[in-house]
Amino acid sequence: MAAALPPVSGTLVWYYTICPRECWLMCHQLNPDEDDPNIEYGRFLQDQAYKREKKEVGLGANRIDFIDAVGGELVVVEVKKSSRALESARMQLAHYLLSLEENGVRATGELRFPDERRREAVILDDQLRKEVEQTRAAVRRLMVQPQPPPVKRIHWCRRCAYAQFCWA
């Protein structure tokens, strides 16, 4: 009997959208360099930005940065250090919105980039819902692969905490 696949988390959606190889490594618990400056800054930002907000709301395998109530509406907030990976951040947040919807909770989303003093609304419409479902299916297919996808240099490689797994 095959073991059940772990649930797809928002982090895996994020990684998959940036680099499937990176996602495979994370799925197989091959963790990135924890001393990588980008990871350290991400932890710092998580601790320092929006200090008054309750941090990391758990929803199954997901860790939502925080949830806000604006005008009686539930808003799921994802905080990122920069908008450079906007599409990945958008997909991660949409995954959270869909996960909440699957549990009977309707919400909207907001990406926040404190260093840029920028916010972007994310609404889970039919098109975005379809994209998230396709990405989740792709992540599940990737989880069962015995080997990671081949190394492929992309523009994210320069700042990647997994660089040693690919280029050493």
Round to whole Å and give the CA distance between 145 and 164: 21
The ranges assigned to domains in the chain are: 10-167
Q: Name the architecture of domain 10-167.
A: Alpha-Beta Complex (3.90)
Cα 143 to Cα 16: distance, rounded to the nearest angstrom: 11
Pairing of strands 73-79, 108-113: parallel
**What is the pTM for the complete model shown?**
0.86
Q: Determine what percent of the chain is predicted with pLDDT higher than 90.
A: 56
Q: Return the amino acid letter for 110.
A: E
CB 97 within 8 A of CB 67: no
Residue 73 pLDDT greater than 60, yes or no: yes
Compute the half-sphere exposure of residue 164: CA atoms within 13 Å on the CB side of its CA.
Answer: 8
Say whether pLDDT at 68 is over 60.
yes
Of the pLDDT bands very low, low, confident and very high (cuts 50, 70, 90), residue 55 is low
pLDDT score, position 1:
47
Coil, strand, or helix at residue 110?
Answer: strand
Q: What are phi and psi of 48, to 5 degrees?
A: -95, -35
Rounded to an integer, what distance in angstroms lies between the CA atom of residue 54 and that of residue 66?
A: 6
Position 54 scores a pLDDT of 59
Residue written as token pair 């197989």: 28
Of 117 and 38, the one with more pLDDT:
117
